[in-house]
């Protein structure tokens, strides 16, 4: 089954792996690897938390199931987008749109800094449902500034026909 069909029935594998790597970064004690995404750690399924808690197990898992350098790439990417997100909030942007948001947690993590910015998260409906279930089951409150926009990027363009 291709990933195109998978997103119609459950979250994409990319969403899960991105969350896992951000959670591992949150638990990583090394200065250059340490990340701030505490929500990712909360969202990781319990049966996978043992992977991110142990540096040895995570290294073994990464070695066998991912490409070399992907962990470092995800850390750099997350820090870069966190910085861009903060700049937009501090710059007084009215809106931030996150395409393919997956289990992104910036709206929650930076909620205290958000004064008036509406955040739109676009993603597949099943991914958004899984994210909402994860937030609800862990009693994580969604910010009022966050709006979910379900979209199938394989079928919808986002343009309105006039």
8 A C-beta contact, residue 150 and residue 124 = yes
CA distance 113 to 17: 28
CATH T-level fold of 3-150: Rossmann fold (3.40.50)
Four-CA torsion 94, 152, 76, 147, nearest 10 degrees: 30
For position 17, what pLDDT does the model report?
87
Strands, E assignment, 34-153: 95-99, 118-123, 146-150
| Global confidence as pTM | 0.85
Question: pLDDT digits over 6-17, tens only?
Answer: 667 778 888 888
Domain boundaries, the chain: 3-150
Residues of the chain with pLDDT under 50: 1, 3, 162
Token reading at 112: 């205290």
- Residue 3: name the closest of 146, 154, 141 by CA: 154
């Amino acid at each position: 089954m291709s990933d195109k069909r998978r997103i119609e029935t459950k979250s994409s594998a990319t969403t899960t792996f991105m969350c896992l790597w951000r959670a591992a970064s949150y638990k990583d004690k090394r200065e250059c690897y340490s990340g701030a995404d505490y929500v990712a750690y909360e969202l990781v399924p319990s049966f996978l938390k043992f992977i991110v808690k142990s540096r040895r197990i995570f290294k073994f898992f990464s070695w066998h199931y991912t490409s070399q350098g992907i962990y470092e790439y995800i850390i750099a990417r997350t820090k870069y987008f966190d910085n861009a997100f903060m700049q937009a909030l501090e710059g007084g942007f009215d809106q931030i749109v996150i395409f393919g948001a997956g289990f992104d947690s910036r709206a929650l993590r930076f909620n205290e800094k958000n004064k008036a910015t509406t955040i739109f998260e676009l993603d597949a409906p099943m991914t958004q449902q899984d994210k909402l279930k994860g937030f609800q089951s862990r009693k994580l409150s969604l910010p009022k500034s966050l709006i979910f926009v379900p979209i199938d990027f394989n079928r919808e363009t986002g343009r309105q026909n006039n």
